[in-house]
Every structure is written in structure tokens, then in C-alpha cells.
Amino acid sequence: MKELMAIVRSTKVGQTKNALAAAGFPGFTCVPCLGRGKKLMDPGVLKLIMESGELPLTAAGESMTEAARLIPKRLFNIVVEDDRVKDALDVIIAVNSSGHPGDGRVFVLPVARSYAVRLGAECEA
């Protein structure tokens, strides 16, 4: 079994959960989180600031008000069988890909064991 940790835009939660359920992945956890990627400053925005002396009233301008501003995202945790990893990954990428920085990231991790809390027993893989 594998765990997919998918960090996506907050605005994509509904589409992601519906697409996962439709593809046969109805069970997952989704929690709010904060983070930032490796996105660098846009040279066009920098030039505008230098010329006008003011920060633009855009998301790019707002993000420059703090050097390490954290951006609201959502973290999906999904555990799937090894042979279904690509299916789940394809769904997440298809729904969340806009072609722009900040679309998200998916990490795939091994799951050694799982236990049912109610039964106190190890679950089959």
C-alpha cells in the first residue's frame, strides 16, 4: 500500500474530492494547511515596483509584503493499493493542474501497516 500526500489549492477541494470519489477513491483525509513553494519573484512585478514605487494590488504584490508568506492550501492524504497509485495520481493531477506555479505537489510514501481502531487489529494490505 502507498500513501499519497497531495497539497493542492484551497479552491480545488470540491473538484478533487468529487473526482477521487468518482474514480473509486471515496476514502481520504483533507485538512487545511499553510505553506509555500519555490516560486521566485516575477521580473515584471519587480520592474513595476521599481518604476511606480508601489506594490501592485495583485496576489504577486501581496505575496511580496512578507519575505516568507505562507499560502493557504489543502492537504489530502489517501492510502491506496500499490496497483492503483497511478490511477489516483492521474486524477489528482488532472483536476489540479492549471499550468501555473502553485498548482501543488504530490508525495508518494510506503505504508508498512494499518490498524482498525475499532477492532484493534491489523488490516490486510
**Predicted confidence (pLDDT) per residue in 59-109, tens digit:** 555 555 555 567 889 999 999 999 999 999 999 999 999 988 788 999 999
Number of domains in the chain: 1
Of 76, 72, 81, the closest CA to residue 114 belongs to 81
Predicted model pTM = 0.74
**Which pLDDT score is estimated for 70?**
74
What residue type is 41 in one-letter code?
M
In this structure, is residue 94 part of a structural domain? yes
Q: Provide the pLDDT for residue 17.
A: 96
**107 lies in some domain:** yes
State the CATH number of the domain containing residue 29.
Answer: 3.30.70.120
Residue 8 within any structural domain of the chain: yes
